[in-house]
A = this chain, B = another copy of it.
Amino acid sequence: MTTLKELAALLNISVSTVSKALNDSHEISENTRVRVKELATKLNYKPNRIAQQLKTNKSKTIGVILPTVTNPFFAEVLHGIEMAATNSDYDIIVCLSNETLHKEKRSLELLSNGSVDGFIMAVARESQVKKNTDHIKATIESKLPVLMFDRVVNSIECNKVIVDDFQSVYDATEHLIVKEQRKNILLVSNIEELSVGKLRIQGYTKALEDYNLKPEILKLDHAVDFDVEKKICDYLKANRSIDAILSIDHVTGIVAINMAKKLGIDIPKKLSIVGFGYEHTQLLSSPRISIIHQKAHKIGEMSAQLLIDNINNEDLKPRTIVVPSELKLSDSVK
């Protein structure tokens, strides 16, 4: 890599003159400025980022700690973060906690050494379940701003970007009751221990309460693959009166459609199905599933923007931004 020193040597001038010339200082003569820039271009000079960072004590980098990236929600959030960060000239360092507390903690600590100017994170499942978030508090106390999205810790005061988990499920449930005239709505859950899961279940329960209906919840308890299919299938077989299913994740709704079809249940006439989903979820089932579409991309963008604002102005009061979801109905019931 070409350095200022090398340029200076070749041009027989001092390093500082070269530096100033490249930074368009008015102190430097037109002549040398041009000479310097020409040589710099020719040798493909690029200021060493590390040196600049050491000098300014800013890394212009954001640490992004995600539970996983194979979950499409987080993947899309990451996309949003990357776009917004790039726009503001920030790099992102990505760490995956794999839902574990120790990896989350480790990542936070490893990057808290000047590597990043702040963090964007969604709390790992384990940290949330064990209510162990001291590492996050410690990071904030060390003056490194942290922004949480989606899965947040209420007791920690910092910027947050969250989804309207309660409201979106309430609205979807209400839609099923009022617009589609459903009375026996089953909620299928496999994330009841997460903060978001709890909120979604609350939204469902409240809506049923408000309309004097009885809640009915099928907890899958982290079942995988065939178990998911079997549990849903068995439940549908044993409870024929169910006329709507509300899945609070992005997979079990589709599984429910497939199982219902297998049992010969007429969708959408006899059974409505709503799940959570992403850009292409609706393409994966026929008839199409109705989805609560979280604006994951937007969540990412806003998170990055808010954190960067916070980095550039430490005195800003912490804010919590709610990004509303959108209910996208299957065409059949539109």
Contact = CB atoms under 8 A, between A and B. Distances in A.
Interface of A: 1, 44, 46-51, 53-54, 59, 61, 68-70, 72, 75-76, 78-79, 82-83, 86, 91-96, 109-115, 142, 225, 228-229, 251, 254-255, 258-259, 261-262, 278-280, 282-286
Contact of A283 (B50, B68, B92, B251): B251
Given A72-B70, A95-B86, A283-B251, A46 B113 contact: yes
Given A44-B142, A69-B79, 15 more contacts: A50-B59, A61-B93, A68-B79, A69-B75, A70-B76, A91-B110, A91-B111, A92-B94, A225-B282, A229-B283, A229-B286, A251-B283, A258-B285, A261-B286, A284-B285
A48 B113 contact: yes
Contact of A93 (B68, B91, B228, B229): B91
A321 to B, nearest CB: 22
13 contacts: A48-B54, A51-B114, A61-B93, A69-B79, A69-B82, A70-B72, A72-B75, A82-B95, A82-B96, A86-B95, A91-B110, A91-B115, A251-B283
Contacts of A251: 280, 283-284
A65 to B, nearest CB: 11
A259 B94 CA distance: 39
Nearest to A297: B70
A75 to B, nearest CB: 5
Closest 6 CB pairs of A and B: A258-B286, A46-B113, A48-B114, A49-B113, A50-B114, A94-B94
Contact of A78 (B48, B69, B76, B280): B69
Nearest to A78: B69
A125 B282 CA distance: 25
Nearest to A46: B113
A259 B197 CA distance: 33
Contacts of A259: 286
A179 B15 CA distance: 73
A228 B283 contact: yes
A118 B16 CA distance: 30
Contact of A79 (B47, B82, B96, B258): B96
A152 to B, nearest CB: 22
Nearest to A280: B251
Contacts of A93: 61, 91-94
Nearest to A259: B286
A254 B284 contact: yes
A70 B79 contact: yes
A97 to B, nearest CB: 10
Contacts of A229: 283, 286
A255 B283 contact: yes
A285 B286 CA distance: 10
Contacts of A78: 69, 94
A95 B94 CA distance: 10
A115 B49 contact: yes
Contacts of A142: 1, 44
A54 B61 contact: no
Given A93-B91, A113-B48, A114-B48, A70 B279 contact: yes
